[in-house]
């Protein structure tokens, strides 16, 4: 016998949920064959068979929460005893149920037809019972139309009752258990607000220079690198330049100490079907614009098909989230603990702004910085966002900054 156990789940992940069994008791399995899918707070993963044999038993069903090392099921390497068990069990249920159920409907079906014809003669018999007044029969037939007309008026009033059916339709509710990821997102967002002195400051950025640069370089950039030039890479590079000037925003609190990080792992928030995920551009300061764009594209694809790994999500020193892709004009992003800063990007929208005393239309974007006020002062936060504005409005500054 060989146990199927919950494997190591990655950094800081100790619990998972059984999402789906790919095999059932009695199924034969080969070495390396996927047996069960586990759902964690970060990614979903498969547990594969390490032995050849037959699934002897399943200890945890779909929906059960499990921890590292828990036994999910057992593989019988001989495979003899279990293969015979499922057919015999299924056969016994099929043979037992039909005889007990089939005679009952047949017994009920016989009296019903015999009872049905009986009311018909009874319905005719009441007419002869009124024979004592034979001379009244034609009168009754003649007078019958009058009450019939009165009876026909009643149904005419019934349509006023027709609105009742909509009232019968109850307001529908559905109760669905949270996925591990959604539950973790909910918990961490609440923790972020309870455990940090979170504040948000805003500014606006004139995107004219970036838009013009993208327009000039888009064909050459795509031809050279096989990918389009987006705006995300500009903000990644601008953020790194600003973080160098304001290191408190690239730090975290551990107990009564501040840990300043001299590397730049930038998290890029991606909206996926199962919930928000934040894959990390590791050592983003060493990445070129094409590398940043390719990494973001790859992460977005992996988020959609569910192939992100724990390594993709590990760590992160600062996060960027772009609500503008969904049409958001302004928002207050929530910190991604233990990070102390998150930059929110938004929709680019033409607005009238003053330039040299004259009103002009420019593509403008609101940007937001949420920060932990425990170690980041308001002055630093405001100046940080001003530096972001400085670098994006004149991208040439990024080249000079290096």
243-255 residue pLDDT tens: 999 999 999 999 9
Cut 0.95: pTM above it: no
Question: Quick one: tokens of 220?
Answer: 């050459």
DSSP state of 330: -
pLDDT exceeds cutoff 80 at 279: yes
Q: What is the pLDDT of residues 321-380, one digit of tens each?
A: 999 999 999 999 999 999 999 999 999 999 999 999 999 999 999 999 999 999 999 999
Helix axes 378-393, 208-225, angle to 10 degrees: 60
Q: What is the end-to-end Cα distance of the chain in Å, rounded?
A: 60
* Catalytic residue check, 373: yes
State the pLDDT at residue 77: 86
Cβ partners under 8 Å of residue 322, min gap 6: 232, 269, 344, 345, 346
The answer to whether 316 and 307 are in contact (CB under 8 A) is no
**Among 25, 29, 76, CA closest to 48:** 29
Q: What is the pLDDT of residues 63-78, one digit of tens each?
A: 888 888 889 999 888 8
Mean pLDDT in the chain?
81
Catalytic residue among 70, 373, 390, 394: 373
pLDDT exceeds cutoff 80 at 272: no
Backbone angles phi, psi at 392, to 5 degrees: -75, -40
Beta carbons within 10 angstroms of residue 236's beta carbon = 25
| CA distance linking residue 367 with residue 124, whole number of Å | 87
Question: Quick one: tokens of 99?
Answer: 């005889």
Q: How long, in residues, is the chain? A: 402
State the pLDDT at residue 183: 80
Question: Quick one: tokens of 348?
Answer: 């680019």
The answer to whether 181 and 41 are in contact (CB under 8 A) is yes
State the pLDDT at residue 219: 93
Cβ partners under 8 Å of residue 151, min gap 6: none
Asked if omega into 338 is within 30° of 0 (cis), the reply is yes
| CA distance linking residue 95 with residue 13, whole number of Å | 47
> Under CATH, domain 180-401 is a member of which superfamily?
Chloramphenicol acetyltransferase-like domain (3.30.559.10)
Q: Which residues face 49 on adjacent strands?
A: none
The answer to whether 237 and 398 are in contact (CB under 8 A) is yes
Q: What is the pLDDT of residues 100-149, one digit of tens each?
A: 444 444 444 444 444 444 444 444 444 444 443 335 444 444 444 544 44
Count of H-run helices and E-run strands, the chain: 15, 19
Beta carbons within 10 angstroms of residue 262's beta carbon = 10
Question: Quick one: tokens of 265?
Answer: 């792992």
| CA distance linking residue 44 with residue 24, whole number of Å | 20
Question: Quick one: tokens of 9?
Answer: 């789940």
Alpha carbon separation from 30 to 49, 53, 76 (Å, rounded): 7, 7, 12
For residues 214 and 183, which has the higher predicted lDDT (pLDDT)?
A: 214
pLDDT exceeds cutoff 50 at 292: yes
Question: For residues 202-230, b (16+ Cβ closer than 10 Å) or e, as one string?
Answer: eebbbbeebeeebeeeeeebeeeeebebb
Q: What count of Cα atoms within 13 Å lies in the side-chain half-sphere of residue 346?
A: 21
For the chain, the helix, strand and coil percentages under 3-state DSSP, each to the nearest 5: 45, 25, 30
Catalytic residue among 64, 65, 377, 394: 377
CATH of domain 2-81: 2.40.50.100
For residues 280 and 138, which has the higher predicted lDDT (pLDDT)?
A: 280
The answer to whether 264 and 243 are in contact (CB under 8 A) is yes
Q: Which residues face 200 on adjacent strands?
A: 370
- Give the start-to-end residue ranges of the domains of the chain: 2-81, 180-401
State the pLDDT at residue 134: 39
Hunting for tokens 């593989």 — which residue is that?
75
């Amino acid at each position: 016998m060989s146990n199927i156990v919950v494997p190591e789940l990655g950094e800081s992940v100790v619990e998972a949920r059984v999402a789906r069994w790919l095999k059932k008791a009695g199924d034969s399995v080969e070495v390396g064959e996927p047996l069960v899918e586990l759902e964690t707070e970060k990614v979903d993963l498969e547990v594969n068979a390490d032995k050849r044999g037959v699934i002897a038993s399943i200890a945890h069903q779909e929906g059960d929460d499990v921890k590292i090392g828990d036994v999910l099921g057992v593989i019988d390497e001989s495979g003899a005893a279990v293969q015979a068990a499922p057919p015999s069990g299924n056969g016994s249920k099929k043979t037992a149920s039909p005889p007990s159920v089939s005679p009952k409907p047949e017994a009920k079906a016989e009296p019903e037809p015999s009872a049905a014809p009986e009311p018909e003669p009874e319905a005719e018999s009441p007419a002869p019972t009124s024979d004592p007044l034979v001379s009244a029969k034609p009168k009754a037939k003649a007078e019958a139309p009058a009450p019939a007309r009165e009876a026909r008026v009643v149904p005419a009033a019934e349509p006023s009752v027709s609105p009742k059916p909509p009232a019968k339709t109850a307001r529908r509710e559905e109760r669905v258990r949270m996925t591990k990821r959604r539950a973790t997102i909910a918990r961490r967002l609440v923790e972020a607000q309870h455990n940090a002195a979170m504040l948000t400051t805003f500014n606006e950025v004139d995107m004219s220079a970036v838009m013009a640069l993208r327009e000039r370089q888009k064909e050459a950039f795509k031809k050279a690198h096989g990918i389009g030039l987006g705006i995300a890479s500009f903000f990644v590079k601008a953020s790194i330049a600003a973080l160098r000037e304001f290191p408190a925003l690239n730090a975290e609190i551990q107990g009564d100490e501040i840990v300043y990080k001299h590397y730049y792992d930038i998290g890029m928030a991606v909206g996926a079907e199962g919930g928000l995920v934040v894959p990390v551009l590791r050592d983003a300061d060493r990445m070129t614009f094409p590398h940043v764009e390719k990494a973001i594209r790859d992460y977005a694809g992996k988020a959609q098909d569910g192939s992100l790994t724990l390594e993709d999500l590990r760590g992160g020193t600062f996060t960027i989230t772009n609500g503008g892709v969904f049409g958001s004009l302004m928002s207050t992003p929530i910190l991604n603990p233990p990070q102390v800063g998150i930059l929110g990007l938004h929709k680019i929208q033409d607005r009238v702004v003053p330039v040299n005393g004259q009103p002009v239309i420019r593509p403008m974007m609101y940007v937001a910085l949420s920060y932990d006020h425990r170690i980041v002062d308001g002055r630093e936060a405001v100046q940080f966002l001003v530096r972001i504005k400085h670098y994006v409005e004149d991208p040439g500054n990024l080249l000079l900054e290096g």
